[in-house]
Amino acid sequence: FPAALTVHRDFAIGALDRRIFGAFVEHLGRCVYTGIFEPGHPSADEQGFRGDVKALVKELGVTLVRYPGGNFMSGYDWEDGVGPRDRRPRKLDLAWYSTETNQVGTNEFMAWCEELGLSPMFGVNLGTRGMDDARRYLEYCCHPGGTALSDLRRAHGVEPPHRIPLWCLGNEMDGPWQIGRKTPDEYGRLAQETAKLMRMLQPGIELAACGSSAFDMPTYGEWEDRVLMHCHDEVDFVSLHSYFVKPFAPDGLLPPGADTSTESFFAQIETNARYIEATVAIADAVAARRRSTKRLMLSFDEWNVWYRARHGHHLKQGGWPEAPRLLEEVYTVEDALLVGGMLCMLMNHADRVKVACLAQLVNVIAPIMTEPGGPAWRQTIFWPFALASRFGRGTVLRPAIASPTYPNVKEGELPYLVASVVWNEDDGTLAIFALNRHLATPMDLAVALQGLGGEAGLALGEAWELHDLDLHAANTVDLPDRFQPRALGGVCVDGDALRVTLRPASWNVIVLH
């Protein structure tokens, strides 16, 4: 069936901030221990970080990493993770019912980030702690020297101050599960004062206030409004968190009428677009009430598919284990297509979404999996992220889409085609990302590239597709490369017109020069 996509060089959404290709490392399950860090592993470096994981993180194209949590952060004492390792305390982690050994902390994590060229996004504990601890942590990390805390860092072997340009003011502070949950007024005031104090110390840092922990929280909207009425002028970002779900019962007994269709699963792209647009509306309404010209940006700092490993032993294991297997979601082809569509949607909100973190990076709801002492491999969702990060550079153009539609109970009529187009003026490269949500029919896509490529027009560089007849197939330790990109054939470029047939249920990227 036919679909059309039109872009014009002068109709831009905004500059794509490369920080939208961020990820998340939390002290949770096996994300840190036996994930990024495993001293006894054959590929480990002198610090104990796994070399095979480092190589995959590079290949994934991650630009920024959020650390050290998540829910973990709301009970974290950062002092436990610095200084001589043999003197670091073992602690109970009440967020994930685990034992935290503190063998990885701030300085090790920063060394890992620096080696991989990753920009850190740190968080301060506003659960069990507060603004004074935030000040102390920032001073330890980022003040050059000559004070007790900065000299303590130097005594720990880190002479130049860390460069940590972006900080989260707590995590999901509205969540009943959160250690030190707050009301919006309590949190809004705390975020305001903490931001003020942190900026006295480091005026150049950027700060993110917690939005609601999900779009479907009963407090959504009112939380953002009240929190931002307090701290709008002091912060730069408001955060969004979203985990994509499907009706799922571990025992297989779903309630009658549960909608497990792939089409509805894919409709979460529109739900998340609404989430972004609603949050922008609230932030801008707060600005309007304050007669402020300032515009807050969005930090979509937790997003992914997460519904299977979300029950019982996936969340909590008895006996306070070290690095238990928690939240180890095994991703399918269907999940990879949704992640690809979500990346298009995020790029299409480039004017306001400047930071985003796929949650998480290794083992825990992650694109990269490892076995202790064994291999590391790419989950299905690795691929759309890696391709989007590789080719998503420049300015996002506004896509005009004409496509047959399908009805969705929640989101209305949805086009089968989801697309985003990124123009890199610097090197004259154009990347087209396109998801065909039709499960059975190939899509004949006609793309009009108005005002692009000059006299000579654009020529095909490379084209890739993500597609598998089995939507439930996964990459596993035994079959790690079952799902991977294949060359997309049949792309015809003629002047400013491009034609291609997209397979049913496929996510594609076409690169022109």
Residues forming the active site:
172, 302
| Integer Cα distance of 437 and 175 in angstroms | 33
26 makes contact with ligand AHR (CB under 6 A): yes
Strands 486-487 and 497-502, by their bridges, are: unpaired
420 makes contact with ligand AHR (CB under 6 A): no
| Integer Cα distance of 487 and 455 in angstroms | 28
Which one, of 412, 434, 433, lies nearest residue 423 by Cα? 433
| Integer Cα distance of 168 and 235 in angstroms | 10
Closest distance to ligand AHR from the beta carbon of 264 (Å)? 23
Question: Which of residues 93, 139, 172, 335 is near ligand AHR by CB under 6 A?
Answer: 172
Q: Which residue is nearest to ligand AHR (CB)?
A: 70
3 makes contact with ligand AHR (CB under 6 A): no
The three-state secondary structure class of 491 is coil
Q: Of 68-76, 245-253, 260-268, 337-345, which segment contacts ligand AHR by CB under 6 A?
A: 68-76
Q: How many other CB atoms sit within 10 Å of the CB of residue 351?
A: 17
Closest distance to ligand AHR from the beta carbon of 92 (Å)? 16
Q: Of 65-73, 259-267, 328-336, 488-496, which segment contacts ligand AHR by CB under 6 A?
A: 65-73
- Give how many residues touch ligand AHR by CB under 6 A: 10
Residues 6+ positions from 313 with CB-CB distance below 8 Å: none
| Integer Cα distance of 305 and 343 in angstroms | 12
Closest distance to ligand AHR from the beta carbon of 177 (Å)? 7
Residue 74 in contact with residue 27, Cβ under 8 Å? no
Q: Would you say 74 or 506 has its CB closer to ligand AHR? A: 74
Closest distance to ligand AHR from the beta carbon of 290 (Å)? 29
Q: Of 67-75, 143-151, 158-166, 197-205, which segment contacts ligand AHR by CB under 6 A?
A: 67-75
| Burial label, 490 (beta-carbon count in 10 A; 0-12, 13-18, 19+) | exposed
Q: Would you say 106 or 212 has its CB closer to ligand AHR? A: 212
Q: Would you say 207 or 358 has its CB closer to ligand AHR? A: 358
Bond into 407 cis (ω within 30): no
Closest distance to ligand AHR from the beta carbon of 509 (Å)? 27
Q: Would you say 52 or 329 has its CB closer to ligand AHR? A: 329
| Torsional sign, CA 279, 282, 285, 289 | negative
Q: Would you say 26 or 270 has its CB closer to ligand AHR? A: 26
Question: Which of residues 93, 302, 335, 468 is near ligand AHR by CB under 6 A?
Answer: 302
Question: Which of residues 70, 75, 180, 394 is near ligand AHR by CB under 6 A?
Answer: 70
Phi, psi of 349 (to 5 degrees): -115, 30
367 makes contact with ligand AHR (CB under 6 A): no
| Integer Cα distance of 260 and 199 in angstroms | 47
H helix intervals, 246-303: 262-266, 268-289
239 makes contact with ligand AHR (CB under 6 A): no
Question: Which of residues 29, 48, 53, 71 is near ligand AHR by CB under 6 A?
Answer: 71
Phi, psi of 494 (to 5 degrees): -140, 100
Closest distance to ligand AHR from the beta carbon of 197 (Å)? 23
| Integer Cα distance of 117 and 356 in angstroms | 17
Q: How many other CB atoms sit within 10 Å of the CB of residue 127?
A: 24
359 makes contact with ligand AHR (CB under 6 A): yes
Which one, of 413, 385, 428, 327, lies nearest residue 58 by Cα? 385
Q: Of 66-74, 149-157, 391-399, 491-499, which segment contacts ligand AHR by CB under 6 A?
A: 66-74
Closest distance to ligand AHR from the beta carbon of 245 (Å)? 13
Question: Which of residues 272, 332, 360, 506 is near ligand AHR by CB under 6 A?
Answer: 360
Find the helix or strand (DSSP H, E) in which 34 lies. none
Closest distance to ligand AHR from the beta carbon of 322 (Å)? 18
In the block, which residue shows the tokens 């590929």?
43
Question: Site residues for ligand AHR, window 306-345 (CB under 6 A)?
Answer: none
Residue 243 in contact with residue 302, Cβ under 8 Å? yes
Residues that bind ligand AHR (CB under 6 A): 26, 69-71, 171-172, 213, 302, 359-360
